[in-house]
Chains A and B, each alone.
Chain A
Amino acid sequence: NAGVTQTPKFQVLKTGQSMTLQCAQDMNHNSMYWYRQDPGMGLRLIYYSASEGTTDKGEVPNGYNVSRLNKREFSLRLESAAPSQTSVYFCATKRTEQAGYEQYFGPGTRLTVT
């Protein structure tokens, strides 16, 4: 089992370009999440999908959109990249949206916007 996979691993964009980060899981989990991680700060939630067919904003959603394509896949789109979006992006999954369950993370996508 691959667990949680993310593509690409690295990406460099110019300001104003768009791109989609892909996440897939084979854990049969219902809930999926997108986080960003910046130096000196905790992981911050961008968007989440409690279950297939639903998506909601997290703490820092501005400049991003998401699609829950099916139970396995959850993508994050940057429509017009900005230098402030330079970060490491992690996808995570959880068995259910109920509190108390742990999340499992992918390996991350390192994005640089110049």
Chain B
Amino acid sequence: EDQVTQSPEALRLQEGESSSLNCSYTVSGLRGLFWYRQDPGKGPEFLFTLYSAGEEKEKERLKATLTKKESFLHITAPKPEDSATYLCAVHPFRRGGYNKLIFGAGTRLAVHP
């Protein structure tokens, strides 16, 4: 069964303390892996798409990487405004039928001054 697991569930960092969020996935084939940021009371905001193992994408203090079984969202020298829930979603390869996006439950990140 296709599955996406994010860890940790919650992470507290001091401002400037770099860390990584993990997204592990079990799918029969990968058509794309997506990272989203969600602020409280708002909808998910698209960050990155990764398609194949070894690929990396960067945006400001965030860098997303992809292997055959997991993706990492690295946060370098985070600031309080990086506090949010980060969601990972996987688009598995499927022959026939609807090709749905599978979401993880998210990692709640809190960055304190």
* A interacts with B: yes
Q: Which residues of A contact B (CB under 8 A)?
A: 4, 40-45, 48, 56, 58-59, 90, 92, 97, 99-108
Evaluate contact between B42 and A102: CB separation under 8 angstroms. no
CA distance A40 to B107 in the complex (A): 10
CA distance A89 to B100 in the complex (A): 17
B-side interface size class: 20 to 34
B residues in contact with A56, CB < 8 Å: 98
Closest 5 CB pairs of A and B: A42-B103, A105-B43, A99-B31, A100-B32, A43-B103
What string of 1s and 0s marks CB contacts (under 8 Å) between B25-67 and chain A? 0000001101010000111111001010000000000000000
Evaluate contact between A107 and B101: CB separation under 8 angstroms. no
Evaluate contact between B98 and A100: CB separation under 8 angstroms. no
- Tally of A-B Cβ pairs under 8 angstroms: 57
Evaluate contact between A43 and B46: CB separation under 8 angstroms. no
| Given A99-B32, A99-B93; 5 other pairs, CB 8 A cutoff | A42-B4, A42-B89, A44-B103, A102-B49, A108-B42
A residues in contact with B42, CB < 8 Å: 107-108
Evaluate contact between B87 and A59: CB separation under 8 angstroms. no
B112 an interface residue at 8 Å Cβ cutoff? no
Residue of B nearest to A90 (CB): B43
The binding surface of chain A is classed by DSSP as loop
B residues in contact with A106, CB < 8 Å: 43
B91 an interface residue at 8 Å Cβ cutoff? yes
B13 an interface residue at 8 Å Cβ cutoff? no
What string of 1s and 0s marks CB contacts (under 8 Å) between B76-92 and chain A? 00000000000101010
B residues in contact with A40, CB < 8 Å: 105
Residue of B nearest to A40 (CB): B105
CA distance A100 to B49 in the complex (A): 8
The listed residue (B46, B91, B100) touching A59 by CB distance below 8 A is B100
The listed residue (A42, A100, A101, A105) touching B45 by CB distance below 8 A is A105
Residue of A nearest to B106 (CB): A42
Residue of B nearest to A45 (CB): B100
A residues in contact with B45, CB < 8 Å: 105
Name 17 interchain pairs, CB-CB below 8 A, sorted by A.
Answer: A42-B4, A42-B87, A42-B105, A42-B106, A44-B103, A45-B101, A56-B98, A58-B98, A99-B91, A100-B32, A102-B32, A103-B46, A103-B101, A105-B44, A105-B45, A106-B43, A108-B42
